[in-house]
Structures are given as C-alpha cells and as structure tokens.
Amino acid sequence: MAQEPHRQTDLADCRGGAFLKSSPDLETPDLQFTFAPGIVINHGKTMRPGHGMSIHVALLKPRSRGAVKLASADPGAAPLIDPQYLTHADDIRRMIAGVKRAREIFRSAEFDRIRGKELHSADAGSDEDWQARIRSRADTLYHPVGTCRMGNGKDRFDVVGADLKVYGVEGLRVADASVMPEIVSANTNAGSMMIGWKAADLIMGS
C-alpha cells in the first residue's frame, strides 16, 4: 500500500516493522508489515518520482505450496520452479485482512499531518476487488524454503534428518534454508545462518 508524499525507495529503506495476527484467535502472527518512507513499487524497480510512504504486507506461514522439478536429466539444466503463490484460499483471505489493516494505519490520526492520496487502492471496495488488486500487484519477499525439508523420515517428502544428513545417501548433509520443514515467521537469513552454525557443530562433533 503506497501513499503520497515522500521519496522513491525500496524495502531496504525499511524504517519500521510489525508482526500482526490476521485474526485475534491465532496463537502467533501471520502477517509482517514493513514500513518504508517512500513509494515502493515492484521492489523499487519501477520509478515513480515524488514523495510517499509505503507499508509492505507480507504473509507469514503461507499455505500455498509450490514445486521444484527437474527439467531434464542434465544436472546443469535450470530446474522448473513454480511457486504457486496465493493458490490457497486462506492465503488470499489473510492478505486481504493485511492490506485492510495497513490502510487503517495510514488513515489513522497519527498520519493526518503527512498523508497524501492513496495510490493503488483509494477506490478499493469488495473483497473480490481487493483480491484482484493483490493478485495483480503482489510480489515475492525472496524467502523460499523447504525444498529439502527436515523430517523423521516417515514421510516421502522428508529429505534430511535432525542431523542434516540426507536419507539414503552416504556422506551428504544439507545445511541451508531448504531444510526448514516450514517457513519461519520472519525473514529467513538469520535462521539459515543458525542452520549453518549447527551443521558446523554437528560435523565437528561438538
């Protein structure tokens, strides 16, 4: 959600963030807000001169599931990646709750002094309308995980065990974000580093 005025920016210019629940009965937050003092469109790649402010609404714990498949038997060939974003009905429902909450925040009295016109959603109305707008504007936050997920080996999709060793392959460990059984409720870099440190400890036997 973007509002005038302030300057062009991207999310790396984040000046504030929040974790929220799309519904009060949830145990943990399922939405992450990133506030930037500028107009963020297409990660800042689409320039729109002028001042503005933005709240980026990210869905934590998405229920949609993508797929990574081999394109051919050539190990050098790029894989076929289909993220299948927003294919689960719960995900779009929670995103709609998120953008409505972001709009409420921008419409609160605290922003009266600096608020300009709402750029992409001023006339948004029904949930169907919000859904169409989200589907046309949503992008990724670059946090893919779980393609090599950790599990107890009982499920056919379990790739590594708690020791990070690949089931059925001798002498091979995986130590990166791909082993996360499901995505963390946050950005993924810190968790990836912790997995790396844990792998080093396991290999050193400490």
Ligand X SMILES: Cc1cc2nc3c(=O)[nH]c(=O)nc-3n(C[C@H](O)[C@H](O)[C@H](O)COP(=O)(O)OP(=O)(O)OC[C@H]3O[C@@H](n4cnc5c(N)ncnc54)[C@H](O)[C@@H]3O)c2cc1C
Would you please indicate which residues are annotated as catalytic (active-site) residues? 143
Candidates 181, 185, 189, 203: give the one binding ligand X (CB under 6 A): 189
Smallest gap from residue 43 Cβ to ligand X (A): 8
62, 71, 175, 187: CA torsion to nearest 10: -30
Interacting residues of 35 by C-beta distance below 8 A, sequence separation 6+: 14, 15, 16, 17, 18, 53, 54, 55, 56
32 counts as binding ligand X under rule CB under 6 A: no
Q: Are 53 and 3 in contact (CB under 8 A)?
A: yes
Query: End-to-end alpha-carbon separation of the chain, Å?
Result: 48
Candidates 64, 187, 198, 202: give the one binding ligand X (CB under 6 A): 187
199 counts as binding ligand X under rule CB under 6 A: no
Smallest gap from residue 80 Cβ to ligand X (A): 16
3 counts as binding ligand X under rule CB under 6 A: no
Task: Give residue 125's identity as a one-letter amino acid code.
Answer: G
Smallest gap from residue 4 Cβ to ligand X (A): 26
13 counts as binding ligand X under rule CB under 6 A: no
Total of chain residues touching ligand X, rule CB under 6 A: 9
Smallest gap from residue 141 Cβ to ligand X (A): 7
Segment near ligand X (CB under 6 A), from 17-25, 34-42, 92-100, 181-189?
181-189
> Rounded to whole angstroms, how far apart are CA atoms 152 and 162?
8
8 counts as binding ligand X under rule CB under 6 A: no
Q: Hey, which residues between 68 and 107 contact ligand X (CB under 6 A)?
A: none
Q: Are 32 and 104 in contact (CB under 8 A)?
A: no
Q: Is 110 helix (H, G, I), strand (E, B) or coil?
A: helix
62, 37, 105, 29: CA torsion to nearest 10: 30
The pair of structure tokens assigned to 65 is 């599931």
Q: Which is nearer to ligand X, 24 or 171 (CB)?
A: 171
Taking residues 131 to 160 in sequence order and writing x for each that binds ligand X by CB under 6 A, - otherwise, the string is: -----------xx-----------------
Applying CB under 6 A, the residues found at the interface with ligand X are 142-143, 176-177, 187-190, 192
